Amino acid sequence: MTFSILDITCNEINLKLTMREFKVTQHLLDLAREKANSKQIVRVNVLIGPFSEEREQSIEFYWKDLAKDSPGEGAKLHFEHVPVAIKCLNCTGIFYLDEETAMCKFCDSERLQLLSGEDVRLESIVVE
Ligand SMILES: [Zn+2]
């Protein structure tokens, strides 16, 4: 059984890449458990911005910890990368973030605004 969910988990992103993975993971787990309705969760599909693998590893790490003794325990996390649109507040250039960077592609400014709105979303879950 697959539930389709598209939920915004984070309205803000810190482009210095110091996202609070713990909070993100907690939110993903809460949502997944709510949708799973006490059934065992076997797979969690997450849409994530094209950032470093460390973030995914952190989310997996926290998931293991937070999901212990819950229907989320042992669930396989699957990450799908989605591009993130960024606007530069200095030169107003718009570009897609395709690598870990905190600078404008055009003018190297660090004053950036996220246009996509979020970078971690729960797409769907699979339960048993
Ligand atoms: Zn710029």
5: confidence class by pLDDT, cuts 50, 70, 90: very low
Torsion sign across C-alpha atoms 41, 123, 46, 67: negative
Does the pLDDT at position 111 exceed 60?
A: yes
What is the pLDDT, as a whole number, of residue 9?
38
pLDDT at 100: 62
User: What pLDDT score does 75 carry?
Assistant: 97
Q: How remote is the C-alpha of 70 from its chain's centroid?
A: 21
Across 49-70, average pLDDT: 86
Q: Is 0.75 surpassed by the pTM of this model?
A: no
- How remote is the CA of residue 97 from the centroid of ligand 1, in Å? 13
pLDDT, mean over the chain: 81
Q: How many CA atoms lie within 13 A of 44 on its CB side?
A: 31
Report whether pLDDT(47) > 70.
yes
- Rounded to the nearest angstrom, the distance between the alpha carbon of 16 and the centre of ligand 1 is 16
Distances in Å between the Cα of 105 and the Cα atoms of 92, 97, 110, 111 are 11, 9, 10, 12
pLDDT at residue 85, rounded to an integer: 84
DSSP SS3 for 76: strand
Type and span of the H or E element at 63 = helix 53-66
Q: Return the CA Rg of the chain.
A: 16
Find the 96 Cα to ligand 1 centroid distance in Å.
Answer: 13
Rounded distance from Cα 87 to ligand 1 centre (Å) = 8
Residue 46 CA to ligand 1 center (angstroms) comes to 30
